[in-house]
Chains A and B, each alone.
Chain A
Amino acid sequence: MSESSVYGLMAEFDSAQELVKAAHKTHDAGYKKIDAFSPFPVEGLADAIGFRKNMVPFVVLVGGIIGGLSGYLLQYYVAVMTYPVNVGGRPYHSWPSFIIVTFEMTILFAGLSAVFGMLALNGLPMPYHPVFNVAEFAKASENKFFLVVFSSDPKYDGARTREFLKGLAPRAISEVPS
């Protein structure tokens, strides 16, 4: 099998602690393109594979600002420019009454940005993923813990990476076809 058709190497572990430890060691050994899979959220695992910062807060902030601005400007456009109505002698640009819609639009856009931003950043929906080519991987939703080193990692080398993963004492190592 040529290396280009290999997605990566998958190591299987029995417990969350072993996985976190192995992930730490792999990351420290210089492998940066790695991922870990577990049946439940494991504290410290994201840290261990070098996942420090996610972009969701930034997406939410931008979404919120766009929502707030569009809410305010829409009202300004309607109440001041296209359809001005004199309400009790108040100025057309009565900002206090614009705030509620502005606020709600901020929340709406920020909320939608959070959901869709999170999905997009996770690459979802994802109908195909190579890890499922390994039969044992089904246990990732039951009681097994997996660590994958991607073949796209510059340090990746079929034989040497396999040797390295063996040193982490996994239950099994499988090659993941892409």
Chain B
Amino acid sequence: MTTATMNKADLMAPTVAQTMQQRSLVIGVLGAIASVVGAVKAPESFYSAYLTVFMLGLGLSLGCMAVLMLYHLVGGAWGTVIRRIMEAGMMTLPLMAVLFVPILLNLARLYAWARPEDLAKDPKLADIAHTYLNFNGTLTRAIIYFALWIGMAFLLNRWSTAQDSAEAKDQSTLRFRALSAPGLVIYSLTISFAVIDWVMSLQARWISTIYGLIFIAGQALAAFCFAVLIESILGKRKPMSEYLKPTEVHDHGKFMLAFVMVWAYFNFSQWLIIWAGNLPEEIPWFMRRMQGGWGTVGVFLAIFHFAVPFALLLSRQFKRRAGSLVWLASWLILMRIVDLWWHIEPSASLHHDTVHVSWTFFAVLAGIGGLWMAYFFRNLRARPLLAVYAPQTLRLLEPSHE
């Protein structure tokens, strides 16, 4: 495919995207109905499941945004080929903002700091709840987070759409970079505060300074795994089969390896420091996660979220084939769910010790997951799979030496 013959119609997503969108929507709607039933019938298990899946969806959206910003800053063909996938992913943020409302309206079901009876027992927690962790504070901060995220995503996306028309041909990539540099800083700060509000405060008296970074690593990993998953579907068909080369898949595999390692590095740092310090205010979080079956889940994560993927991703051949890489990418997305569940469920259900998965979890997973995917495919199908007149696209479509 040369630049001369390339046009917008050639670059639209194949019909499989429409099929996927319709199926996702059906799954999403059925899941949403089941979730409503779950919220009514089994509220004690529903809300922690909801929070877990919400964090997964939010992590994918924000991970896509962060990867896109990284691409705007450092460039490279690896990003040009998945740019529209990342943009479609981050533009699901409005859905995540709406999906946050049920959490906000049911704070007392999740957080001790929102329950007056718990505050009465713990004066220090009452202090924290009075100054920071309370409904108004959570609402205000959530509005700030989502306004910043959606604002940045909206701008990056609109400028990207402008690159689809010929008039934008001479436009530089400067404004993308000008937003992405502070954007990455804003993202890391806001997500750190957001996970303090929504996840870390489940165990309100426990503090870890590396907590936000663990989530950032997980979100970036999820975004790259998601990109590999989508490119394994679209890469077999035109137009992506024309421009997706093993080199780019290889790069995505390298990013997966990097973020698998970063995820393990942050988690291990947290574990090592708390283990070495052995202080009564720090260890309860891990004590809780070593009791019952949670210890097994933790070891399972160390092996299957880190060790095995790490060993597989060392192989060059493995990383270069989308067909093999996609299996690990799908597996790692599953591991992201387990990891989030391991972060949230033990703190949310302090009253029972055994590990159990309620049916409501699968209902919410189908509901939020289906709606997210349907929204994603809707966004993806709205525009060509490459930003047609972006300078990087022109470079991508030029043969490398002739």
Question: Chain A interface (Cβ within 8 Å of chain B)?
Answer: 16-17, 42-43, 57, 61, 88, 96-97, 99-100
Contacts and interface: CB of A to CB of B under 8 A. Distances in A.
Interface string B275-315: 11010000000000000000000000000000000000010
A18 to B, nearest CB: 12
Contacts of A42: 401
Contact of B316 (A17, A57, A99): A57
A23 B275 CA distance: 60
Contact of B272 (A16, A57, A88, A99): A99
Interface in B360-402: 400-402
B316 A43 contact: no
Given A16-B401, A43-B401, A61 B272 contact: no
Q: What's the dominant secondary structure at chain B's contact region? A: helix
B159 interface: no
B400 A97 contact: no
B331 interface: no
Contacts of B402: 17
Interface residues of B, number: 11
Which 7 pairs between the two chains have the least Cβ-Cβ distance?
A96-B272, A96-B275, A43-B400, A43-B401, A57-B316, A16-B401, A97-B276
A31 B159 CA distance: 54
19 contacts: A16-B401, A17-B401, A17-B402, A42-B401, A43-B400, A43-B401, A57-B316, A61-B314, A88-B278, A96-B268, A96-B271, A96-B272, A96-B275, A96-B276, A97-B272, A97-B276, A99-B268, A99-B272, A100-B272
Nearest to A57: B316
A91 to B, nearest CB: 12
Contacts of A99: 268, 272
Contacts of A16: 401
Q: What's the dominant secondary structure at chain A's contact region? A: helix
Interface in B312-361: 314, 316
A57 B276 CA distance: 35
A88 B276 CA distance: 9
Given A16-B401, A96-B271, 10 more contacts: A42-B401, A43-B400, A43-B401, A88-B278, A96-B268, A96-B272, A96-B275, A97-B276, A99-B268, A99-B272
Nearest to A61: B314
Nearest to B401: A43
A53 to B, nearest CB: 10
Contacts of B316: 57
B321 to A, nearest CB: 16
Nearest to A89: B278
Contacts of B314: 61
Contacts of A61: 314
A57 B318 CA distance: 13
- Most central of A17, A57, A96, A100 by chain B CB within 10 Å: A96
Contacts of B268: 96, 99
Interface string B28-51: 000000000000000000000000
Contacts of A43: 400-401
Contacts of A88: 278
A57 B250 CA distance: 15
Contacts of A96: 268, 271-272, 275-276
Contacts of A17: 401-402
Nearest to B278: A88
Nearest to B400: A43
Contacts of B400: 43
A140 B171 CA distance: 40
Contacts of B272: 96-97, 99-100
Interface in B220-275: 268, 271-272, 275
Nearest to A20: B401
A40 B400 CA distance: 14
A55 B317 CA distance: 14
B139 to A, nearest CB: 40
Contacts of B275: 96
